[in-house]
Each structure stands twice: as structure tokens, then as C-alpha cells.
Amino acid sequence: MLEDMGKAAKAASYRLAQLSAREKNAALEMIADNLEAQSATILAANEQDLAEARNNGLSEAMLDRLQLNPARLSGIANDVRQVCRLADPVGQVIDGGMLDSGLRIERRRVPLGVVGVIYEARPNVTVDVASLCLKTGNAVILRGGKETWRTNAATVRVIQSALEACGLPAGAVQAIESPDRALVNEMLRMDQYIDMLIPRGGAGLHKLCREQSTIPVITGGIGVCHIFVDESADITPALNVIVNAKTQRPSTCNTVETLLVHTAIAARFLPELSNVMAQRGVTLHADAAALAALSSGPAAVVPVKAEEYDNEFLSLDLNVKLVSGLDDAIDHIRAHGTQHSDAILTRTLRNADRFVNEVDSSAVYVNASTRFTDGGQFGLGAEVAVSTQKLHARGPMGLEALTTYKWIGYGDDTIRA
């Protein structure tokens, strides 16, 4: 079955690669309209998924994440209409020129071909990813969380009906319509058909993909993010940035998890940190040196466990560790970071420069919240994933990350000397 899906996707990809921006946008508009017009079938499937999830004892927070309603579906449809408005990167000439040999070359941006995406149980991701892939002329094979497989299947059928109404192949957007986990393993070996694989999920999924996939994988989305409070930091604005980075939306991967505090500022800084974090309900996980100062403050504080420095809490918990200076901070980040997003709060130019240069992360910040690492915030217009590896794309991945390029050589019966 997967083999047939692979063949259909590959065939569709050849067709999609030749579409103009106008043709792709017309299909996206039709998809948005059909998502609203045919919402009943999607909502019915979603109710079945929800009923099963409820029976399986999923938490209310999780159930809320799975649930669709007419308003949410309209929101999703409007997101598709937003994608229409983005510039189409396909066809863009990256560079080129005339060679000594007389060959005129150019590097032209083209779709990747077929993209595979494995994602969590979030119904909006199905449409998001499909529309971004379609916009960039890629076919896509989707494998969503098993808790929403009926919703995803119904959604993809609506998308396919829109594609066919536009004269485009249904193979352009396909979903693996089964909660069977073995199919994921099979998908990971389909290098003959899938050009790039994007796993969106926890560390386990990323490890599985890195170890089992024969398809090039984009790993990312796991963020053990740090903020280093330098000796010269200005305490009040620093706390403002830290509060934002920790509490603005704690469940996201760009949330700060560990605060590294210069010992020289600790005595002044930690009591104020405790005050602010108490108001926000944040529990501090402090190392021995910080614990003493924090224990007398109002914020909840516990001794940090060594393994918590590698934790992506995704909750109102924050490690606090004292460091002897910038070098110590950088060493800690190299040992425990996930190359996602790290920040320095400082008034010292040289330390800002060194932090930016020496911290090897997808995004590094000076006097700013780690929460900015996001395709929308970075002006990419959309985000298919956040890469924390170094090949192909790093950080938030927008439309350009869904493309590759080809070299084109125009000759006049030109031969190599």
C-alpha cells in the first residue's frame, strides 16, 4: 500500500513542479473553500476520534488539542488563504552567469519532489503542511498522530477533492490512513519515493528517524534553551525578558528551560528573580550555589537534579545555575543545549559578540527572548518545522526550506576543453 502511495506521490510531484504560482494558488483557494463547505464530514470524523480518545482516558488538555469545531476549521481554512499570499520561491534564479567556456549557467530553485511528514495529533498540522507543500510544488505523504487518524483521513479526502476539481492529481496530498505503527517504519525506508522526511514530535521519534530512516531527515523541534545573565545585565529588563521566555507560552520548544547566572550578579539578581517567578507560579530548580539565596525568597524552589539540565520541561519549571562567567556558560550550553535557541542578557559588547560567535545554536539572541524562534516571527510567513540540525535548513523552516535547486547550463553546442 505504501509503495503505491509513493508511486502516486512521485508521479504527482512531476506534475506539481510544472505549475505556475497562479495555478497553485487557485488550488489552495479551492482547498480553503472546500474545508468550510465540507466541514461536516471532517467534524464527524473528529467526533469519532474524540470519543475514542476520551475512552482511552486522554487528558482534557490533550482532548482540546484534538478537537475541531466550525470556528477552528474556518481558522484553518483562513491559514490556507494566507499561504496563497506568500511569494512562491519556485523558479527563482539564485545565481548564475557566463563561464569562460561559453556555457551560461544558472541555479534555479525547484521543488524537492516528495516530502514525508510525521507529526503529532494536531488536526491543523495536516492542512498547514499540505498547503505549504502544495505552494512549493511538492507532493506530500502525511502520517499524523494515531489519535486523529480519522480526522486526518477525512481532511485529506476534502483536500483531494479540491485538487481533482482543479484538474490536479489526488496523489499530491496523501495520508497514511491507519494508526498502525509498523507503517511508520516502512515509511522511513521509502527513499525511492520520498526526498525529505520531517519528523515533528518528541526525542523518541527523532531518534527513530535518525537511526532507521534511509531518507534524508530534518531533525529538530526539541529545545533545551538557555539564557545567560551576564555580570553587566540590567536586572529589571533582564527579568522582563526571562519572564517572557519562560511564561509567554511554556509548552513551546523555544521556551527557556535553564537560566545561567553570573556569580558576580547573583546576590543582587536571585532575590528579584524569586519575587518575579513567585508571581508567575514558576518553580525554580536551583543548583547548590543558587539554592541558598533562593530559599529565602517567595518562589517555589527545589534542588536541581543533574539530569534536569537536559530536560525540556515545557512547563512552569526553570533550572537556575550559577556560572563563573561567559566561558562557563558557553561550556554548559555546549554540554546540555539542543542547538535550538539561546540568549545572553548583557550590557558588555564584547561578551555579546563572543556569545553570538561561540554558541553553536540555530538561533542566538542578545537581549531578547528565546520565544522569537518561529517562522512567523522571523517573517518567513509560515513554518513547516524548526530544524536544530545543520544540513539544508537551520532554525525555522519556511517555504524556501521546501525547495532545492538545479543547475541549468545553456550552451551553443559547447564542449569541455
Torsion sign (Cα): 128, 131, 137, 139? positive
Nearest to residue 370, comparing CAs of 204, 178, 242, 235? 242
Q: Which is nearer to a copy of itself, 115 or 158 (CB)?
A: 115
- What's the one-letter identity of residue 181? R
Q: Could you tell me how far CA 357 lies from the centroid of its own chain?
A: 24
Strands 139-143, 173-175: pairing kind: parallel
359 to 378: interface string for a copy of itself, x by CB under 8 A: -xxxxxxxxxx-xxx---xx
* Torsion on CA atoms 86, 87, 88, 90, rounded to nearest 10: -140
Q: Is 204 in the site for a copy of itself (CB under 8 A)?
A: no
User: In whole angstroms, how close is the CB of 377 to a copy of itself at the nearest point?
Assistant: 7
The amino acid sitting at 92 is: Q
Task: List the one residue from 92, 232, 240, 283 that touches a copy of itself (CB under 8 A).
Answer: 240
Burial of residue 272 (CB within 10 Å: 0-12, 13-18, 19+) is middle
Q: Does 241 bind a copy of itself (CB under 8 A)?
A: yes
Residue closer to a copy of itself, measured from CB, 46 or 369 = 369
219: left (phi over 0), alpha (psi -120 to 50) or beta: beta
120 lines the binding site for a copy of itself (CB under 8 A): no
Q: Which residue number, 57 or 379, has a Cβ lying nearer to a copy of itself?
A: 379
Give yes or no for a contact between 341 and 373, defined as CB atoms under 8 angstroms apart.
yes
Rank residues 162 and 402 by Cβ distance to a copy of itself and give the closer one: 402
Q: Does 394 bind a copy of itself (CB under 8 A)?
A: yes
The binding track of 245-274 with respect to a copy of itself, each residue x by CB under 8 A or -, is: x--x--------------------------
Cβ closer to a copy of itself: 60 or 307? Answer: 307
Q: Is 217 in the site for a copy of itself (CB under 8 A)?
A: yes
Residue from 93, 99, 203, 302 that binds a copy of itself (CB under 8 A)? Answer: 99
Q: Spell out a b/e string for 167-186, using b for 16 or more CB atoms within 10 Å of the CB, else e.
A: ebbbbbbbbbbeeeeeebee
Q: Contact region for a copy of itself (CB under 8 A) — 50-58, 116-124, 213-221, 271-279?
A: 213-221
Distance of alpha carbon 11 from alpha carbon 3, whole angstroms: 12
Question: CB of residue 417 vs a copy of itself: minimum separation in angstroms?
Answer: 9
Q: Give the residue with the Cβ less far from a copy of itself, 63 or 366.
A: 366
Compute the distance between CA of residue 352 and CA of residue 343 in angstroms, rounded to an integer. Answer: 9
DSSP 8-state symbol, 369: -
Query: Is there binding between residue 186 and a copy of itself (CB under 8 A)?
Result: no
Is 406 one of the binding residues for a copy of itself (CB under 8 A)?
Answer: yes
Which DSSP letter does residue 217 get? B
Cα–Cα distance measured from residue 134 to residue 216, given in angstroms and rounded to the nearest whole number? 20
Question: In this chain, which of 20, 48, 101, 296 binds a copy of itself, going by CB under 8 A?
Answer: 101
Nearest to 224 by CA among 316, 313, 302: 313
Question: Contact between 51 and a copy of itself (CB under 8 A)?
Answer: no
Q: CB-wise, 147 or 257, nearer to a copy of itself?
A: 257
Measured CA angle at 288 (ends 284, 289), to 5 deg: 95
Rule CB under 8 A: is residue 391 a binding residue for a copy of itself?
yes
Can you read off the three cell numbers belonging to residue 322?
550559577
What is the smallest separation between the CB atom of 273 and a copy of itself, expressed in angstroms? 16
Told to check if 155 binds a copy of itself by CB under 8 A, we report no
For the bound state, the minimum distance from the C-beta of residue 4 to a copy of itself, rounded and expressed in Å, comes to 17
Residues of the shown chain interacting with a copy of itself in the complex, contacts defined by CB under 8 A: 14, 17-18, 97, 99, 101, 103, 105, 110, 112-113, 191, 195-196, 210-211, 214, 216-218, 234, 237-238, 240-241, 244-245, 248, 334, 345, 356-358, 360-369, 371-373, 377-379, 389-392, 394-396, 404-416
